[in-house]
Each structure stands twice: as structure tokens, then as C-alpha cells.
Amino acid sequence: MNRVTAADVAAAAGVSRSTVSYVLNGSDRVRFPESTVARVLEAAARLNYTPNAAASSLRRGRSDVVLAVLHDMPHGTALGRLLDELTAVVAAQGRSLVTWAAREGSALADVLRDLTPRVIVELMPFGDEDRATAAGSGVPVLSAIDALLDLESHVGAAQVDHLAGLGHRRVGVVTVDEPRVEVFARARRASAADALRRHGLAAPPVAVMGEAGAAAADVLAESLREWTRGPDPVTAVACYNDLFAAITCAAAERAGLSVPHDLAVVGVDDEPLGAWLSPTLTTVRVDLPALATAIAAALAGDARSRDVDVIGEGRDVALVVRGTSGAPRSGSVDQTSR
Amino acid sequence: MNRVTAADVAAAAGVSRSTVSYVLNGSDRVRFPESTVARVLEAAARLNYTPNAAASSLRRGRSDVVLAVLHDMPHGTALGRLLDELTAVVAAQGRSLVTWAAREGSALADVLRDLTPRVIVELMPFGDEDRATAAGSGVPVLSAIDALLDLESHVGAAQVDHLAGLGHRRVGVVTVDEPRVEVFARARRASAADALRRHGLAAPPVAVMGEAGAAAADVLAESLREWTRGPDPVTAVACYNDLFAAITCAAAERAGLSVPHDLAVVGVDDEPLGAWLSPTLTTVRVDLPALATAIAAALAGDARSRDVDVIGEGRDVALVVRGTSGAPRSGSVDQTSR
DNA sequence: ATGAAAGCGCTAACAC
DNA sequence: GTGTTAGCGCTTTCAT
């Protein structure tokens, strides 16, 4: 099947190629009589004409493709929700959002050889090389990193506010050691630590987890035993995400701690499965649709050559209170009254 | 910043535009002296030259973009694994895989106006409209649907084989009513039913679930009570995926059934969180990397204008045996001996 | 109101 | 070996 070009449509409609272009692009500059428009439209439909995207972007000097870049980190459902929403709002702008997952060994330069997007949306922090590529390519980069970090900075706070509100005085932090999410993990635990300070509580003990493999719970159980020993035991844990919250619950059981009575656990991301753990998982849900909208708005404002930072709103973080969090058992040791 | 073109590089290197093109594309037809090559490469690097993808695909008459199409169904981590792997193998072919999520209201035609991929990979069944668009666009479609269905047809069988092997004689099925995954859900439950027949067991009672909302477990608990009533109770359940398996476990508890003693439960997808449920979730893991490789191989064979079906291999399905599955309690009622 | 014509940046056949 | 040249299909200015 030979591709149908505008010339074919023009011939079929008995007009020139430029008329076809005008009619199809609905230029405001020129108005064509109904009959001409109808003839062109009919011919285009009959021949199943699809404009050549490459020719069109070459001539216009720009494309209507928006490229969202993330990496191959096994991500939960949260990022999927963000991408779905982003796809929709970008589509509403008459552009197309496609996603590309960077991997160890694959460079942004590769995809930019095959595709010149109108703008690149940075959803995961670029490495130095990719950053240089993006900068040199002349394609504007819309970075969502600051917005994401802003959101993250409320995540740990939401966890701690909830736990402190329940009366917990010693809170531990379970974080993850994984380079690709390091920046987010750091933001989450930093905001948790900040919140603890704000509540006048001690700095948290931190357990840094590697792979979420089978041994993870044993390792963590050891930390929990240590944290809960002594006169001033940890009674609550703020976890990096729901997966590690689930592991923490399993670790608690192995350490002989009952959740939530001996230990309250709070995750992040509101994974669907978390609602069906027993006890059901208390978690922090981030409002990704709102972030998608913010990104889309920045996109509409059309970052020229300078990067644009989306400013997320702090309240786009909501606690989902379920079974793994409750008040500490009969007050802390240092509260002898009552 | 004005875009650097091949002409700029040519001027800087003191050669013609075609030489630049030849050198950069490494044509086999012509061989240039080291010095020329070096000069061109140096100039390109120094000017930070990026070829214009649109011009290049326009001229070549094709692009090196592969477009993977799926829909906005909230998918688990399994599909993410598939996409990551696919991105990698496609990159190894010197092409770029980008992903586009179709949504209610957004059409494939929209993205094809902004992007002309070399081939479209159909990961979720197209609707009639998108199928027509794809066909009319002249872009070959590589459908992974048949391969996915082939895989699915082994999923239910793997669940049932495991359960029958443990001695279960009455097995129920929990499936989902969601148009976007209907074809896969049907394949899973059909293969479970087939397997039961093969084992000489009765056709399964089927619970069709809607949303995985809070009420889901109550609804399902009612079904479980019914199934386990009477002389020939259901002792095991094959679930659509891990989420519904978790809901089934919760429902079992509400129905006063102990998992796995009164009821064995098997999921699908090997969601990371499933390993931390209690009891830990037995599940079926599908070998997506193998599927990605198969798709990539078909891609390399370069579907001309006809669609190509990837043939998946049945053994790319593996049972992950964990805590929710065990032998039925002291044999079935009809096994009076022993 | 419509058409002719000039490229967008690149590739590749062909000439020198 | 290297340069010249002719478009790929489209948009858009400028004539008519």
C-alpha cells in the first residue's frame, strides 16, 4: 500500500495541494466555500489520508510530541496513575504524550535521534549525560523533579504528623538504598525527620533496606528488636513505601511485635494490595492527577528554551488511615502519669 | 539557540553536507580517509550536532520509532516489567520504543498525526476504530495479543494443576468484570475450567467481581459461604490476579474460613506485595522478558504490511508456591477411606 | 478564493 | 574520495 499524500487528495478533489493543507489545518487566514471544503474532506476520508508526521514537523519546525522520560525502576501503580493522567491532559492540548523508559546503558540521545519532541518531561532525575544531551538538543526540558520533591517533602511529614497525633513519641524510619530513587527516598526521610523535630521528638533511628528479597524481613526484624529494646522503645515506623511497610509488618511479627499495638506502621503510595493486608495498611496517598494537571499547565505555557519547574502544592498529600496505625500501647514509659 | 544542522558541521569541518551524512551514518558504500572522518566527528561533537529526526525520517521514508500501545487500565508491575524489557531489546536493535496509553476518548489517530512509527506493537486489544486507523495508516501492526492470550491460557492451567496436585477436588474461580481486560480474564478462567475438566473435576463456580473497592470482600465472602456450604465444598480458589487473591483471603476470613486450611488461594502476576501478605500469596508468574524477546524477534523480522503474531511459549509460566496454598483439610468428603 | 513555488534538513544516487 | 543534486511530503507566503 503506497502512502496517500496530500497530492493524491488534491487530485481526487480537483484542487491544489495547498488548498488541501488549508482545509485540513483549518487555517483562520483563509475561508473556503462549503463546497470546496466538503469535496476535500470527502476525498481525504475516502482515500484514508493520514498526513505524514515527519514532513509536517519538518516544515513547521516543531512537533506535537511530548516525551515523558522515566527510568526502569520497578514502580508501583502510583507512577502509572500519573502517566495516565498526563497522557489525557496532554491529549486535551492537541499533543501526544509518549513515554520512554531510560535504562542502564540506554541514553536519551538514542531516542532523540529517532524522535524530536516538542518538549521533554523529566519525571525521574536525569544523569549528567542525559542532562547534557537534553540541553544540547535544544528541546526544552520541563522538569517535574522539583514538584515531585515538593510532594515528597510532605509525605514524610504526613506520616509523622499522623503518628505523633496518635501519641507516638519514638518513631523509626525505614528507607531504601537504590540509586534510582535515592533523591526521593532522601526527601521522604528528611521530611519525616523534620516533622519529628517540629513535634519536639527525637531524631529517628533509620533502617536502610536493600533489595526487597526474602531476607529483607529478617534483616529488618533485627533492627526492630534493637529499636524496641530499652527504656524508650520505638512504637511506630514511617516506611519508604507500601512494599516496605508490608515488609515491616512481616518483620514485626518475626520480632514478636504486634501491629499496630506494639508497633504502628505507615506506608506510602496507596497500593491497591495494601488495603487487603491484615491488618490493612495505613498509607499516604499522593495526588498525582493534580501534579499531572500542573505539568500540563506548564506545558501549555510552553517552556521556551529554559527549563521550567512545576510547583506542586503541599496539600496534595492525603493520609489513608487503616489498620496498621493506632495509638501506642498505654502511653510511653516516660509518661508515668495517667 | 539555533539548531545546529549538518550544513554547519560541514562548514566547520570544511567538507560538504553529504560527506557529513556519509560519515555519521557509516555507509558501507563509501570509505573515507581517517583524517576526514576525524574532522567531521570532531566538528559534530564540538557543535553538539543532533540530526533532525523529522528530516531524516522524511527522507528515508521510515522512522526508527516503535510505538507500544496499551490502555489506561490500572496495571500491576507485570506490564511494567514487560515494557522495560521491551524497551531494552528494541534499543538493542537500534530503534526506540516509546509507549502510548490509549484512553477512553483518545484515538490512535491522534498520536499517529504527531508520530509515524516504523511499527505499532499492540499490547492491549484495539477497539474497532483504532484497528481501522492502524490498518489505514499503512503502519504495520505487530500484535502481541495472541501471544499474551497463549500465555494466559497457561495461567489458569498452572493454577489448577497446582491445586489438583495438592488434592483439591472442588475449585472455585474469581474473575473480574472490566471491559478492558475482559479478553484476558476470559482466557484465564477458560483455561482454569479446561484444566479442571482435564483433571476430571467439576466445572468451577465463578464469582465475577466488579471494582476492587472496600465492599468487594463482603460480596466475595457471601460467594465463599455459598461455595463451602453443603456436602461437596469448594476447598480452593483460582483468582484473576494477586489483588483479587488478596481480596479472596480477606473474604475467607470474613466467611470464617482459614487460609490455606479451609481454602487454598492462588493469584497471578507475582506482585511484590503478595510475598508479604500473611499467609504469603501463592501466585503464577508469567515470563514477560521471554515475551519481550519474542516480540523483539518478530520486530527484527520486520513485519511488512501484514500483521504478525508472536507465538508465545507455554512454559513461560511458573508457579510461585507460597503460603496460601496447601492440601485440603483431611481429604474431601467423598474420600471416606483414609 | 485558489494555485505556484519555495524550502524545512536530510539522504543517496550520481557525477566528477 | 568528495561534492552536486534531486527530492521526501508538507506548510505558507505571495501572486493571481
- Is the distance from CB of B331 to CB of B168 less than 8 angstroms? no
pLDDT band at A303 (very low <50, low <70, confident <90, very high): low
- Distance from the Cα of A80 to chain B's closest Cα (Å) equals 7
Neighbours of A336 (CB within 10 A): 7
Region B38-52: what's the mean pLDDT?
A: 90
Does residue B101 contact residue B70 with C-beta atoms inside 8 Å? yes
* Residue B316 confidence (pLDDT) above 90: no
Tell whether the torsion through CA atoms of B102, B108, B113 and B116 is positive or negative: positive
Per-residue pLDDT averaged across A113-139, rounded?
91
Tell me the C-alpha distance between B225 and B234, whole Å.
10
Band of residue A322 on the pLDDT scale cut at 50, 70, 90: very high
- Reported as a single tens digit per residue, the pLDDT across A243-270 is 999 999 999 999 999 999 999 999 999 9
CB contact under 8 A, B101 and A112: no
For residue A225, give every residue at least 6 positions away whose Cβ sits within 8 Å of its Cβ, in sequence order, or none.
A255
Report the alpha-carbon distance of residue A298 to residue A142 in Å, rounded: 8
B194 SS3 class = helix
Q: Which nucleotides of C are covered by protein (CB under 7 A)?
A: 1-5, 7-14
| pLDDT tens column, A15-71 | 989 899 989 887 666 678 888 888 999 999 999 898 999 999 999 988 999 999 998
Q: Three-state SS across chain A?
A: CCCCCHHHHHHHHCCCHHHHHHHHHCCCCCCCCHHHHHHHHHHHHHHCCCCCHHHHHHHHCCCCEEEEEEECCCCCHHHHHHHHHHHHHHHHCCCEEEEEEECCCCCHHHHHHHCCCCEEEECCCCCHHHHHHHHHHCCCEEECHHHHHHHHHHHHHHHHHHHHHHCCCCEEEEEECCHHHHHHHHHHHHHHHHHHHHCCCCCCCEEEECCCCCCHHHHHHHHHHHHHCCCCCCCEEEECCHHHHHHHHHHHHHCCCCCCCCCEEECCCCCHHHHHCCCCCEEEEECHHHHHHHHHHHHHCCCCCCCEECCCCCCCEEEECCCCCCCCCCCCCCCCCC
Question: Looking at residue A72, what is its pLDDT?
Answer: 83
Query: Domains in chain A, start-ordered, CATH in brackets?
Result: 6-49 (no CATH), 56-143 (3.40.50.1980), 149-286+313-320 (3.40.50.2300)
d(CA B262, CA B326): 9
- Report A:70-129 residues touching B (Cβ under 8 A): 72, 74-77, 80-81, 83-84, 87-88, 91, 95-101, 103, 106, 109-116
Residue B308: per-residue pLDDT: 46
| Interface A-B: count of C-beta contacts within 8 A | 190
CB–CB of B273 and A137 under 8 A? no
Surface of B (14-53) touching A: CB under 8 A: 48, 50-53
User: Residue B331: pLDDT above 80?
Assistant: no
Asked if B111's CB is within 8 angstroms of A98's CB, the reply is yes
Residue B151, classified by CB atoms within 10 Å of its CB into exposed (0-12), middle (13-18) or buried (19+), is buried
Where is B248: in which H helix or E strand?
helix B242-254
% of chain A with per-residue pLDDT over 70:
91
B window 130-189, beta carbon within 8 A of A: 136-138
CA trace torsion B246, B252, B255, B261 (10° rounding): -160
Percent of chain B with pLDDT over 90: 64
Cβ atoms of residues A280 and A324 within 8 Å? yes
Residues of A in contact with B212 (CB under 8 A): 272
| CB proximity under 8 Å: A 204-233 to B | 212, 214, 217
The average pLDDT across A112-139 equals: 91
Identify the pLDDT of residue B30.
Answer: 66
- Report residue A58 as a C-alpha cell: 519538518
What confidence score (pLDDT) does residue A29 get?
63
More confident residue, A292 or A3: A292
Half-sphere exposure of B322 (CA within 13 A, CB side): 26
- The CA distance from A87 to the nearest CA of chain B, in Å, is 7
- Interface residues, strand D, Cβ cutoff 7 Å: A 3, 5-7, 17-18, 20-22, 24-25, 27, 29, 49, 51-52, 55-56, 58-60; B 14-19, 22, 30-33, 36, 55, 58-59, 61
**pLDDT value, residue A311:** 54
In one-letter notation, the amino acid at residue B119 is V
Indicate yes or no: strand C within 7 A of the C-beta of A91: no
Residue B105 pLDDT class (50, 70, 90 cuts): confident
CB contact under 8 A, A114 and B63: yes
What is the reported pLDDT for A213? 85
Residue B68 touches chain A, beta carbons under 8 Å: no
- B-chain residues near A25 (CB < 8 A): none
pLDDT beyond 90 at A298: no
B126 touches strand C (CB under 7 A): no
User: How high is the pLDDT of residue A308?
Assistant: 47
Query: Comparing B28 with A323, which gets the higher pLDDT?
Result: A323
User: Looking at residue B2, what is its pLDDT?
Assistant: 65
- Output the pLDDT for position B313: 52
Chain B: residue whose CA lies nearest to A140: B1
| Residue A200 clears pLDDT 60, i.e. is over it | yes
Q: Which of B32, B85, B23, B21 has its CA nearest to residue B55?
A: B21
Nucleotide nearest to A4 (CA to C1'): D9
Query: Could you tell me if B102 and B69 are in contact, meaning their C-beta atoms sit under 8 angstroms apart?
Result: yes
Is 0.85 topped by the overall pTM?
yes
* Residue B72 three-state SS: coil
Residue A212 or residue A218, greater confidence: A218
Judged by average pLDDT, the poorest of B81-90, B300-309, B325-334 is B300-309
Q: Can you tell me which residue has the cell 496539600?
A: A315
In Å, how far is B338's CA from the nearest CA of chain A?
Answer: 35
Give the per-residue pLDDT at B156: 96
Report the SS3 class of residue B254: helix
Give dist(CA B241, CA B175) in Å, integer.
8
Q: What angle in degrees, to the nearest 10, is found between the helix axes of A17-25 and A34-47?
A: 90
Q: Of A121-130, A199-208, B134-143, B162-171, give the lowest mean pLDDT range.
A: B134-143
Q: How far apart, in whole angstroms, are the C-alpha atoms of residue B173 and residue B155? A: 13
* pLDDT tens readout for residues B139-170: 899 999 988 998 999 999 999 999 999 999 99
**Mutation for B interface: A2, A89, A96, most B CBs within 10 A:** A96
Residue A167 in this model has a pLDDT that exceeds 50 = yes
Higher pLDDT, B188 or B34: B188
Q: What pLDDT does residue A218 have?
A: 96
- Work out the average pLDDT over A280-292: 92
Q: Is the pLDDT of residue B181 over 60?
A: yes
Give the separation between CA A286 and CA A269, rounded to whole angstroms.
7
By three-state DSSP, how is residue B167 classified? coil
Give the DSSP H or E segment for B18.
helix B17-25
Is pLDDT above 80 for A100?
yes
pLDDT, greater one: A162 or A304: A162
Q: What nine digits make up the cell of A47?
A: 482515500
Other Cβ atoms less than 10 A from the Cβ of B99: the count is: 23
Mean pLDDT score, B48-67: 92
How is residue B275 annotated by DSSP?
A: G
State mean pLDDT over B34-50: 89
Q: At B239, which amino acid appears? A: C
What does each C-alpha distance from B246 to A282, B237, B317 come to in angstroms?
16, 11, 20
The whole-number average pLDDT for the span B10-25 is 90
Average confidence (pLDDT) over B298-322 = 67
